[in-house]
Chain A
């Protein structure tokens, strides 16, 4: 079914250089809308680098160049006239280490809406903050302490706070770079349940080093190796009947 709908991202010959070093050697991939796409592969193979091309976070890294074409809903996101700041409002990102701002829980979530002027009154902002926290599955845990610092929450709560913060700007896509790597198993389970819910609404791309996690949460899986996309297919297929030996070796634990 996903094959017939239009892809969210269309990537053609995407190459990324750090100075003279080519980290990605021409990636072609179509990322479907709605649903979870997982990127797996040994560390250093370029998963994070590729993920950062979708919200142009690579632009903030000195010496990093991206070439090739990436279309989002058919529009070139590397177009000279496109402001990366606006792109990032549509493509949210969650990082490996939870990074709430040293502000109150409320202000963390309200940060994006405030800078983009999404609401016109305090009441509206309150509603948006509550809605975002609810969607991130955090509301019940924090509703009585919205004024307390976001850095005081547990790791798993912080990660969900960061997701609420991203949701609050009403993105279409959420990128997650190993979001569970700093979390304990219970927090990880909660996060995975949340991803399951969010995929109804958002296009989610998740980098993970846990094969089990990729198998649990994703619909499609892309396997990267040394800067190349080796295989991209439905998650079931990748984990039961991979088409490539290297994928096979990796998921059975012989490499990486």
Chain B
């Protein structure tokens, strides 16, 4: 049945194209005949729709009606009745019928163009509705599965619990089972790594943006901007093994020269590399924002006897500040959603610590760890992944919404 479906789809495509060609040429023929009858003086605008629109009109109707027949056939076939010949015949007959009936309608006054435009309009609406519905579906499933989890583990214990060890909770003889689903250490890890990453990406990205917009010559900018944006194109798994194999040992060596021993995987190693990864987010968004500060403001400042750096600090930067904050928030939401780097370089131990030299774990890492490997999909251990995902989703959503409103308010100012 799978194979026959593919052939049927191909057939539908051919019939659709056929309908287009047939009715387009029939429209052309009728138009030429009408012009000949008018003594050759008729112009093409005398017809409401050009010939190709009559073709498109037929093509749309053929495609829709044959698809309908095809789906009806699929449903019937799915109930165990196999009658491919009839099915095939029904599709072909439908297509021919539609082509011929619409062919009769071709005339100078038939508004084929209007109908085609309406079809396309409808199609676009359908596609956007599908995108929205998909998003809603994902959110609904997150919510639904999370609710199942919260039936087993109280919401407050999850959100404010300090102890994270979902593995041990599997054991039936475990006492105080709910205590091991406390998400605080996991979110604290995410937060710590995000702080380290932003400590790198924030200042560096901002400096780059300021340099590029205010000081670099056009020639330098032409080279540096794409070079920095390449950073955003490096696959995160590459950053991950760079963090694990190159940077983490370096961090450990450095810590050892200072006299204390640390694990290879650490919040610092993951955070710094993630910071490098999000530098281009900060720098290119902020440089757009700084660029959009009108030249007249800078001129106004120079004309008052301000130097370049005074103008930068006191006028350009303050004017761009809301936009820069927006850029930072988008970078932060990128950082807390990042998975690969932290999975490889941050570790899996849920330590509740503020020391960046220690290994920590993050929300994303825990979700991966919980859902990979063999596990029962109904246990609290897997359901907690949905709860983590839900909270992460809510946090990034809030960040994005705040960032966008801040940026928009700033845009409206000029």
Using CB atoms and an 8 Å cutoff, list the residues of chain A in contact with chain B: 55, 57, 60, 85-89, 92-93, 95, 97, 99-103, 111-112, 115-116, 151, 162, 165-166, 169
Contact with B304, one of A60, A103, A151, A165 (Cβ below 8 angstroms):
A165
27 contacts between A and B (CB under 8 A): A55-B303, A85-B305, A86-B305, A87-B305, A88-B303, A88-B305, A89-B304, A89-B305, A92-B303, A92-B304, A95-B303, A99-B294, A99-B297, A99-B299, A101-B297, A101-B319, A102-B413, A103-B318, A111-B304, A111-B306, A111-B315, A112-B305, A112-B306, A115-B304, A115-B305, A151-B413, A165-B304
Interface of A: prevailing SS: helix
> B408 near A: Cβ within 8 Å?
no
Evaluate contact between A95 and B300: CB separation under 8 angstroms: yes
Evaluate contact between A101 and B305: CB separation under 8 angstroms: no
A-B residue pair count with CB separations less than 8 angstroms: 67
Across the interface, which residues of A come within 8 angstroms of B301, CB to CB? 101, 111
Across the interface, which residues of A come within 8 angstroms of B318, CB to CB? 101-103
Across the interface, which residues of B come within 8 angstroms of A60, CB to CB? 298-299, 302
Given A101-B319, A166-B304, A111-B296 contact (CB < 8 Å): no
A95 to B319, alpha carbons, bound, how many Å? 19
Tell me the smallest distance from the CB of B225 to a CB of chain A, in Å.
18
Across the interface, which residues of B come within 8 angstroms of A115, CB to CB? 304-306, 310, 314
A85 to B309, alpha carbons, bound, how many Å? 12
Using CB atoms and an 8 Å cutoff, list the residues of chain B in contact with chain A: 294, 296-307, 310, 314-315, 318-319, 413-414
Contact with A85, one of B294, B296, B307, B315 (Cβ below 8 angstroms):
B307
Across the interface, which residues of B come within 8 angstroms of A88, CB to CB? 302-305
> Other CB < 8 Å A-B pairs besides A99-B297, A101-B301, 12 of them?
A86-B305, A87-B305, A88-B303, A92-B303, A95-B296, A99-B294, A101-B315, A102-B319, A111-B306, A162-B300, A166-B303, A166-B304
A195 to B186, alpha carbons, bound, how many Å? 66
Tell me the smallest distance from the CB of A104 to a CB of chain B, in Å.
11
Tell me the smallest distance from the CB of B409 to a CB of chain A, in Å.
11
Nearest 7 pairs of A and B residues by beta carbon: A89-B305, A93-B303, A88-B305, A99-B296, A99-B300, A112-B304, A102-B319
Evaluate contact between B304 and A169: CB separation under 8 angstroms: yes
Across the interface, which residues of A come within 8 angstroms of B294, CB to CB? 99
Tell me the smallest distance from the CB of B320 to a CB of chain A, in Å.
9
A97 to B298, alpha carbons, bound, how many Å? 13
Tell me the smallest distance from the CB of A57 to a CB of chain B, in Å.
6
B313's closest neighbor in chain A, by CB? A115
Across the interface, which residues of B come within 8 angstroms of A101, CB to CB? 297, 300-301, 315, 318-319
A91's closest neighbor in chain B, by CB? B303
Tell me the smallest distance from the CB of B213 to a CB of chain A, in Å.
14
Across the interface, which residues of B come within 8 angstroms of A97, CB to CB? 296
Tell me the smallest distance from the CB of B294 to a CB of chain A, in Å.
7
